[in-house]
Structures are given as structure tokens and as C-alpha cells.
Structure 1
Amino acid sequence: MTQTMNAERDAASAMMRGARGLCPACGVGKLFRRYLKVADHCPACGEALYHQKADDAPPYMTILVVGHIVVPLLVIVEEAYRPEVWVHLALWLPLTLLLSLALLPVTKGALVGLQWALRMHGFDPDSPEHEALPPAAAAGKTPLTP
């Protein structure tokens, strides 16, 4: 029950669905089966998702966003209050960790949605990668079900 082969795919909608952890194709099924592990197929529409190749882009984007949030706040607090080093450590380390952990699945989901919308890495039904088996199936293992 996947979309028409040559139908237009809206990148903004696909990225928003992915950022919310939903299938970029239908917006109903869950994109992730674990924290950052993308499901092989959408449980709702059956769209193959194992083609995605997010690699290092989500951590890079997460670091970029978190850095642009934390560093200005750190500088403002330092200039306004000049707290001890332990106060900076107590504030900024947990904030950086929590923001990173919260934003990482959001950025990965948005990137998978963008790849789907642009028909990258086998998301194009006409590409040779589209028919390739997921890594677990190619190795003779059965993929985990969500």
C-alpha cells in the first residue's frame, strides 16, 4: 500500500513526519523501532525504510544546533554572573547531554524523511538499490520486528 511510483513527494511534510518519529510516506507508522534504530518497513503502510543512510549527518546537525543553544547561554551567564567553574559544569553538562539526546532522533527522523522525499539511497522505486535486501536479510538473519 505504498504511494504511486512517480508521485510528487513533499520534502517539508516528509521531514516533519520523520522529525516526529513517523513514517515519511504515510505519517502513521513508527519510524524507529528503538531509540535510533530505523524500522525495516513501516508497520502501517509497508514502505521500505531500510534504504536510509543517515550515517554521521544526524549527530553533526545535533551538535550544530545544541552548540548554538548552549554556547550563547554559557557566555551570557558567564558575563552576567561570573559563577564558579563547578556551577558551569553543573548547568551546561546536563543541559548539553539532555538536548543532544532529545534532538538526535528528531534530526535523524527529519534526515530519513528528506532522503525518502528526494528518493535517495534506494527510496526511488526505479533504482537498483530499491530491490536490495536489508542487511539482516542479506546475511540470512531475520530482521527484528518492532
Structure 2
Amino acid sequence: MQRRKIFLLISLIIILSLSIVTAAFSLSAKNPSNEANQLQLNNVFKNVGNFLRGNKDKLQVDKGDIIAKVNNIPIYKSEFELRKGLTLASDAEISNIDNYILNKLVREKVEEYLASSYNLKVSQDEINSYIEKEKKGIC
């Protein structure tokens, strides 16, 4: 059970990081100036950091009220609120953000269910390798 929580937390961190990077790149596409892009990226990270510092209670994503279930895997209200807050903090321009976030969470729960069904697991080496590739892609 502890390994599953660690896996879910690492997966969530990777997904959130990718969401932030995606939002930052979408912002940079709007403004081709490198200096302006850096300012926008810094602003995104600042906003996300402020959100996380101010909402530490929302980091416990596997507790509290269940708002939906996908193949008997719960989606918690705190999980939804965390994802929504991070998306808003990244200055993403999304119409009907509640639907967008819920659809993303449903897709992730389906993926989690399928991975569990086929006994697919991610090793620590694979996680580290993926993080290193992402770091190189950002720099």
C-alpha cells in the first residue's frame, strides 16, 4: 500500500510538472521574445509555488470526500481542487475548467486501472531517467 502511494505521488508530481511546462510553453508561444518568455515562465513558477505554499492541505490527495469513481478508483475532492488550483496558478486559459480537470482525472484513473490490471509498474530507474530527460528538454 505504501509503495502504491509513493508511486501515485511520484506520478502526480510528474504530471503536474508536465502541466506546468506545457502551460509555460503555451505562454511562450504567445510572445516570441526570449526575455519575455523567461519572465512568463518565472511568473508561472512563482504562482504555482505560492499556490502550493498556501494550500498544503490540498496535497493530501488520497483523503477526504470522493467526488467520483472510475473502475472503483476514487477521485477525491482534494485531488480535483489541487489540480484545478495548479492549472489556474499556471495562467492556463481554459474554458470550463471544471470539466477539463475532471476529464483529465478520469483519463488518469482509467490509465491507473489498466496499469494495475496488467500489473505494470514503473521502476525507480525509469522514473529517474524520465526526470533527467525532462530536465534536458527544459534547459
Higher relative contact order (CA 8 A, sep 6+): 1
Q: TM-score, normalised by structure 1?
A: 0.29
Structure with the larger helix share: 2
Q: TM-score, normalised by structure 2?
A: 0.30
Rg larger in 1 or in 2? 1
